[in-house]
């Protein structure tokens, strides 16, 4: 759970930031060993006692540079926790891009990164699950696993490690080329490639040649009637694999086009035992009903990106939306 930032804490954070920013400037110019606490206080415009209020020593000041790094991500953490509209995969990709922007856009943060490279023994760049950046990455990876966009058997810590390595590698590359490419855009693209490699392959193919995917809505009756044609593990993996494919107004019927059938989405949702998966599948239907610009009775065939109906209105097949009650 993200900690709420009060006005008093914000003021303390700003003072700590000013001291650290000043210290980093001095460390960069004079070298860490050649700078005294008195010099830091004078340059920061505060008393030596004020510095010791926040830091026990100059060494601790350097070590606690990690707190400034963490504070830069607290606002993002709160925003992601409050965001219920986007998928975990989209949040994770967004975080990869935005964290890179923060790393080079915030002067203190970037200097802290460089300082951590120069003085690795101080642990500024070392990972810890208690740090906001690592904790948030872990939360987003876990969310991706729950929604089915990465494989269930993957270890969260290992995926986080790969993403951190990607982040730092992109910073090095960007520095080498003197900012000659769009950092956030390239970082996000590389993260997409990584997620493709570790993505959940649970969805069975649409065709015998293994190309494409589709909703397996007709298997509802195996599930409801208990025929045992497919194992329970199939339904969990199959329905979870649909979540990254959901568009603004629903899950397409298959990979060939963006249209869907609202009744068959409800059939498919009934196949999921996970309530969160069911909600994720059916919520876009309600969104389409509220926002569609098509002034026709409830259509079962509509476009999942525009929300406009394709054909068919007020058909009896819409009784299929009650499949969730079976």
pLDDT 10s digits, 18-44: 898 888 888 878 877 888 999 999 998
What's the pTM value of the predicted model, to 2 decimals? 0.53
| Tokens 């929300």, residue located | 307
Is 231 among the domain residues?
yes
Domain of residue 38, CATH code: 1.10.357.10
Is residue 205 in some structural domain? no
Asked if residue 208 has pLDDT above 50, the reply is no
For residues 85 and 92, give the distance between their C-alpha atoms in angstroms, rounded to a whole number. 13
- Specify whether 170 is located in the same domain as 278: no
| Mean pLDDT over each residue of the chain, to the nearest integer | 83
Residues 169 and 81 in one domain: yes
Confidence of residue 302 (pLDDT cuts 50, 70, 90): very high
CA 206 to mean position of chain CA atoms: 29
For position 123, what pLDDT does the model report? 66
* pLDDT at position 27: 81
Same domain, 174 and 37: yes
Q: Has residue 210 been placed in a domain? A: no
* Same domain (yes/no): 183, 229: no
Q: Is residue 207 part of a domain?
A: no
Residues 183 and 240 in one domain: no
Shared domain for 47 and 125, answered yes or no, is yes
Of all residues in the chain, the percent with pLDDT exceeding 70 is 86
Domain that holds residue 225: 217-325
Q: Are 62 and 172 in a shared domain?
A: yes
> Do 29 and 171 have their domain in common?
yes
Same domain? 127 vs 173: yes
According to DSSP, the residues that pair with 175 across neighbouring strands are none
Give domain status of residue 2, yes or no.
no
Boundary of a domain, candidates 131, 162, 197: 197
Question: Is 253 a member of any domain?
Answer: yes
Which of 151, 168, 197 corresponds to the end of one domain?
A: 197
37 and 106 fall within a common domain? yes
Q: Could you say which of 197, 228, 253 is where a domain stops?
A: 197
Same domain, 181 and 318: no
Do 185 and 303 belong together in one domain? no
Domain presence at residue 278: yes
CB 268 within 8 A of CB 242: yes
Q: Whose CA is closest to 200, among 277, 271, 261?
A: 277
d(CA 204, CA 84): 28
State the total domains in the chain.
Answer: 2
Mean pLDDT, rounded, for 250-269: 93
The Cα–Cα gap between 47 and 37 comes to 10
Q: Does residue 203 form part of some domain?
A: no
Comparing 2-11, 38-47, 140-149, 226-235, the range with the smallest average pLDDT is: 2-11
Question: Is the predicted pLDDT of residue 102 greater than 90, yes or no?
Answer: no
pLDDT number for residue 288: 93
């Amino acid at each position: 759970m993200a900690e709420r930032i009060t006005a008093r804490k914000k003021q303390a954070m700003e003072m700590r930031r000013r001291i650290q920013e000043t210290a980093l400037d001095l460390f960069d110019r004079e070298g860490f060993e050649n700078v005294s606490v008195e010099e830091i206080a004078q340059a920061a415009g505060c008393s030596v006692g004020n510095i010791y209020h926040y830091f026990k020593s100059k060494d601790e000041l350097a070590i606690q540079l990690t707190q400034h790094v963490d504070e830069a991500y607290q606002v993002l953490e709160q925003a992601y926790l409050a965001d219920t509209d986007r998928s975990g995969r989209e949040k994770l990709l967004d975080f990869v891009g935005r964290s890179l922007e923060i790393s080079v856009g915030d002067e203190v943060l970037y200097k802290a990164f460089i300082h951590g490279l120069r003085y690795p023994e101080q642990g500024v760049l070392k990972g810890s699950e208690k740090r906001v950046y690592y904790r948030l990455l872990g939360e987003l990876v876990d969310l991706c696993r729950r929604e089915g966009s990465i494989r269930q058997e993957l270890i969260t810590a290992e995926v986080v490690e790969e993403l951190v390595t990607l982040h730092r590698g992109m910073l090095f590359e960007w520095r080498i080329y003197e900012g000659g490419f769009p950092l956030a855009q390239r970082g996000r693209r590389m993260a997409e490639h990584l997620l493709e490699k570790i993505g959940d392959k649970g969805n069975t193919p649409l065709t015998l040649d293994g190309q494409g995917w589709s909703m397996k809505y007709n298997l509802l009756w195996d599930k409801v009637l208990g025929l045992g044609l497919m194992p329970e593990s199939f339904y969990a993996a199959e329905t979870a694999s649909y979540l990254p494919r959901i568009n603004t107004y629903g899950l397409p019927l298959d990979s060939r086009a963006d249209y869907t059938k609202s009744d068959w989405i409800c059939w498919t949702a009934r196949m999921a035992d996970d309530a969160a998966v069911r909600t994720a599948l059916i919520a876009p239907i309600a969104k389409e009903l509220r926002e569609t610009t098509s002034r026709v009775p409830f259509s079962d065939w509509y476009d999942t990106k525009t929300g406009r109906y394709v054909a068919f209105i007020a058909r009896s097949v819409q009784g299929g939306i009650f499949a969730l009650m079976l």
